[in-house]
Amino acid sequence: SAGVGDRTLLLLHGGPGGNSEDLSPFLELADHGFRVVRYDQLGSWRSDKPDDFTLWQVPRFVDEVEHVRKALDLGQMHLLGQSWGAFLAIEYALHHAEHLRSLTLASGAASTRECVAGMNAWRRELPPETQAIMARHETAQGYQHPDYLAALEVLYRRNFCRVWPYPEPLARALEHMAAPDYNTMWGPNEFTCTGNLLDWDRTDRLGEITVPTLITVGEFDEVHPSCARSLQAGIPGSELEIFPGCGHAVHLEVFDDYHDVLLSFLNRVDDAQAVRKASSL
């Protein structure tokens, strides 16, 4: 963590089975009056790694977020979730809204199947022969075949992160992916979902989220911008920011731009809350 005070921001990393390394640049918000906290979720890099695969379920991760909030005395907090972290942040908001000042959903979706449909749309932009290679190896579950990995790399460079080489925090995070969590909940790679998250869908409950919400996405994000538009349509009063030319790692591809948008949003939320408090005195 970094910073002190009662303006708290908790960061939820992607994956599942990722880690908080690629969110570490957000610790810089400590310079703007925030106490910023990142942590690796259970099973991920610096956390315990139990071998009980039944633990890799959404409700357990929601309980973990609330445990972290209480243990660190974060009070009413701002919450930012990126990728799977945005799925988790939505779920947390539906169970613990009273503990939220705001919600930032970075490259997320309200439904895994909508997310997969968007990924398939990106896949259809590949040359037909590349699509055929991927389909053939997926049918045979040949996820490590060199031809399959080469096709996948094209998608990663186009839709996962469009900066090459990958920014250092992302490269570090990818070196320490936790395969058991990732494979159990998501699947063998970003563009193939076979895990227990496949049926997760909160589209019909987005209207219950009433805290100020910022939705961000890259123009070429693997979690398709259509998913972000669905979030905006469902969450009352939410704001949507689409970052031109970016993939899924928006916050690292154009960190300065992302930082400015996020800081502006958080300041507006806190200023509005201060005004409401003053007027109620």
Q: Catalytic positions, please? A: 83, 221, 248
Distance CA 166, CA 90 (A): 28
**Residues ≥6 apart with Cβ < 8 Å to 166:** 174, 249
Cis-peptide, bond into residue 16, ω within 30° of zero: yes
DSSP per residue over 134-201, as a string?
A: HHHHHHTT-TT-HHHHHHHHHHIIIII--SSSPPHHHHHHHHT--HHHHHHHT-SBTTB--STTTT-B
CB atoms within 10 A of CB 153: 11
Distance CA 230, CA 204 (A): 11
